[in-house]
Structure 1
């Protein structure tokens, strides 16, 4: 494992973690959820290292305004910025070779923006896993509350941002009442493991107000359905939980409808945090894509040599 610092086009430093050798035949990129950090994928990284060792390269990073990466001003907390940052990470640590890419929530939205922000990467992508995410129309999400849902949806990010501005991190860590309720009621389905809830609560507490409000505003404008056909015939799986209140199953279905050959996998009773709630399921779908990529690269190498 190596820690890297990659500088974005606008001068922000991103924290990047790379597992595996530079000459690995396949690179796996894992793009995390809004208000989270690279540990969003910690179960999958552990499982993939156990399965593949150094036969692949795994790249995770903290998005701008998240984790150990630099904070961004609110106006620069947008999906296009995330996509260009993703491209900068690829340029720095995986400039050549096939890519399997997975995105959770806003990480998946950033993937759907690749055709417009970094179209040069599309030809290198051999596998896509979209986890609890959306191609657009998030203004229709009601959080499972048909009448009050839109109001609650629009207010929650700003409640969290206001708490972050008014209360110290230490105080919010001691009394994470609102953060814990959001994690339990909005982010997770059933069953819920206390350690996973605690992990997500810590991520929420460590998230800056600019990150909370900036990305929320931009996600409400997110519309990349028109980009989806760029992924036609790339091995693609879309995974969603039946209890996902942020990016419900109908959003996953629209992604599948837009990508020729894509598969839809629905996890009963799971919520929005599938990498935590159904870690084995998410890992299995990743390994299916990775195995396909490894077979393809091996066949290409034999044909060339």
Structure 2
């Protein structure tokens, strides 16, 4: 079939231009507030950031979405750790944490990295399929297929942590039996409209982000190409802590966000605003837990994480200078906390 190039209507071009100007102003504002700089040498320049896996598989969710999963480590390892990534990211976002843990653990621990529905190499999700509750069900689907026996520790970053809360609310029987520990990194037990960056409606970053993902895709199918230069900088500006940051790391993280279908992005953004899984706190108290937050996290800030840790009566770690993307910018410290969590959880389960 011959492809047909359809011209973009002038109204869309105008909307894209207006959004670009507004985005530029918003990103500049955020960069000034956050103190972000990219001057100086880039320690990651030239590194191969491909996420290699020992094994890859595709598992169907209960509603028919193919979930792509990567694994490293032996099948007969004494414990399995499942890593659930955040909104607009993918399993590769754990690259730096995974490398630190492999140096620490060697072949003793099996690590499982699913791409959430609608993200990475997993199948696309409709707006109705883009919910935190279904992400919680997907965790169980992955466990049933790849880790039906033996102790499991769940680690979630941002939306991934919210998926763990949803899993606890919907499948409480698994916690304290199959699931023996949880790590909650830069996350919250309830909606983003009540905490952090999303609560500050006067902040240009969140205002423009809402506009881009909610309205631009509905105008024409060309929305992705127009939105690409807008969404990436918005996400980066609100993700990192102050001070110098690696341009390579910035490109790596923003490239993940730019591959997420806009329909999925809009669906999950709406779901995250409405999300409330505080009912899962009681279930999570049954297992060993650690809460980690950066002290410059605008999305799920320190106060929210501190309250969550108090409710769980668990270990609470604040990473100085880190933002929402702590699994990249503070990967060594995050890996240390995950290793400590797994050690405590396996001892408690034995």
Above 0.5 in TM-score?
Answer: yes
Counterparts of residues 4-43 of structure 1 (less than 5 Å)? 4-43=57-96
Q: Does 1:69 align with 2:122?
A: yes
Match of 1:278 in 2: 330
Counterparts of residues 88-167 of structure 1 (less than 5 Å)? 88-123=141-176, 124-141=178-195, 143=197, 146=200, 148-149=202-203, 152-153=205-206, 155-160=208-213, 165-167=221-223
Compute the RMSD of aligned alpha carbons: 2.2
Partner Cα separation in structure 2 for residue 140 and residue 91 of structure 1: 34
Provide structure 1 residue ranges, at least 5 long, that are not aligned to the other structure. Answer: 301-305
Match of 1:181 in 2: 233
Q: Which residue, 221, 236, 245 being the options, matches 1:192?
A: 245
Q: Which residue, 203, 206, 211 being the options, matches 2:259?
A: 206
Secondary structure in structure 2 of the residue aligned to 1:220: helix
Partner Cα separation in structure 2 for residue 282 and residue 155 of structure 1: 31
Match of 1:288 in 2: 340
Does structure 1 retain, via aligned residues, the 8 Å contact 2:232–2:258?
Answer: no
Shift of 1:8: 0.4
Partner Cα separation in structure 1 for residue 121 and residue 167 of structure 2: 24
CA-to-partner distance for each residue in 1:36-61, whole Å, 9 max, x for gaps?
00011111112222222221110001
Secondary structure in structure 2 of the residue aligned to 1:76: coil
Partner Cα separation in structure 1 for residue 60 and residue 199 of structure 2: 41
Match of 2:140 in 1: 87
Does structure 1 retain, via aligned residues, the 8 Å contact 2:290–2:316?
Answer: yes
Counterparts of residues 206-225 of structure 1 (less than 5 Å)? 206-225=259-278
Shift of 1:160: 4.1
Q: What's the TM-score once normalised by structure 2's chain length?
A: 0.78
Secondary structure in structure 2 of the residue aligned to 1:269: coil
Match of 1:238 in 2: 291
Does structure 2 retain, via aligned residues, the 8 Å contact 1:138–1:220?
Answer: yes
Partner Cα separation in structure 2 for residue 295 and residue 142 of structure 1: 35
Match of 1:252 in 2: 305
Does structure 2 retain, via aligned residues, the 8 Å contact 1:158–1:212?
Answer: no
Shift of 1:21: 2.1
Secondary structure in structure 1 of the residue aligned to 2:175: helix
Which structure has the bigger radius of gyration? Answer: 2
Match of 2:38 in 1: none
Structure 1 residues 101 and 219, CA, compared in 2 at 3 Å: closer, same or farther? same
Match of 1:303 in 2: none
Moved more, 229-238 or 159-168: 159-168
Structure 1 residues 136 and 156, CA, compared in 2 at 3 Å: closer, same or farther? same
Matched length: 292
Q: What's the TM-score once normalised by structure 1's chain length?
A: 0.88
Moved more, 57-66 or 45-54: 45-54
